[in-house]
Amino acid sequence: MTADSFMLILVALGSYLLGSLSFAVVVSRWMKLPDPRTYGSKNPGATNMLRGGSRAGAALVLLGDGLKGWLAVALVIHGLIPLGLDNRAVAVAAVAVFLGHGYPLFFGFKGGKGVATALGVLLALNPLLGLCSMVVWLSVMVVTRISSLSALCASVATPLFGVFFLSSGLLKSTVLLLSLILLLHHHANIRKLISGDETIFRR
């Protein structure tokens, strides 16, 4: 095994473990709130925390889940790339932290959909890429008040933004992969949107 291969394995393991920290579960326990896996969509994420009535809890979860995605990728870009690793390490970190959130080791491999974590990854890859994705999410949310539809639209648009903001073909493909996984994570929401049963957040 080469040194680079060993480092890639360490990046994958470290990023996955970081992603496995489910802030929805941690915050709900810290704030003595109901476990988000027991109500609403049963999804341990910021949206379901908001559905449970805790805006402060939802904000903390959004921040925490986004921060871990950003941190995993930023550490590689600013800490390991200067030491000689290439964009493979960045791609591995991005995918591993995202999969850690969706399939967390610490919580029975049942995690959230990963919207906030993906946003953190995008902001680390390129701030403008992350901001454009956020603008799409916010724009759709303001108009429709449907969080899942906002995430779906952002997932479709983000790979297109990646073409302009990312110079690496590998990283463009990585963003496309994350977007496809996000779409798969929202399969139940897609069915609810089609049937008209999806949750609408009222003002």
Say how far apart CA 64 and CA 100 lie, in whole Å.
14
d(Cα 119, Cα 125) in Å, to the nearest integer? 10
Q: Establish if 202 belongs to a structural domain.
A: no
In tens digits, what is the pLDDT along the chain, a chain of 203 residues?
A: 788 789 999 999 999 999 999 998 888 888 888 877 878 777 787 887 777 777 888 889 899 999 999 999 999 999 999 988 899 999 999 999 999 999 999 888 888 899 999 999 999 999 999 999 999 999 999 999 998 899 999 999 999 999 999 999 999 999 999 999 999 999 888 998 888 888 787 65
- Distance CA(133)–CA(142), nearest Å, equals 14
Residue 39 carries which side chain, given as an amino acid letter? Y
- pLDDT for 169 equals 96
Q: Which residues contact 68 (CB under 8 A, 6 or more apart)?
A: 18, 19, 21, 23, 97, 101, 117, 120
How high is the pLDDT of residue 74? 97
Q: In terms of Cα–Cα distance, which of 176, 71, 80 is closest to 129? A: 176
Q: How many domains are there within the chain? A: 1
The domain containing residue 110 runs over which residues?
A: 3-195
* Cα dihedral 168/172/175/181 (nearest 10): -130
pLDDT digits over 96-153, tens only? 999 999 999 988 888 889 999 999 999 999 999 999 999 999 999 999 999 889 999 9
Domain-embedded: residue 185? yes
Looking at the domain assignment, is residue 200 inside a domain?
no
- Residue 203 has what pLDDT? 58
Let me know if residue 109 belongs to a domain. yes
152: left (phi over 0), alpha (psi -120 to 50) or beta: alpha
Asked if 50 and 24 count as a contact pair (C-beta separation under 8 A), the reply is no
**100, containing H or E segment:** helix 87-102
Model's pTM, two decimal places?
Answer: 0.93
In a domain? residue 104: yes
**pLDDT value at position 180?**
97
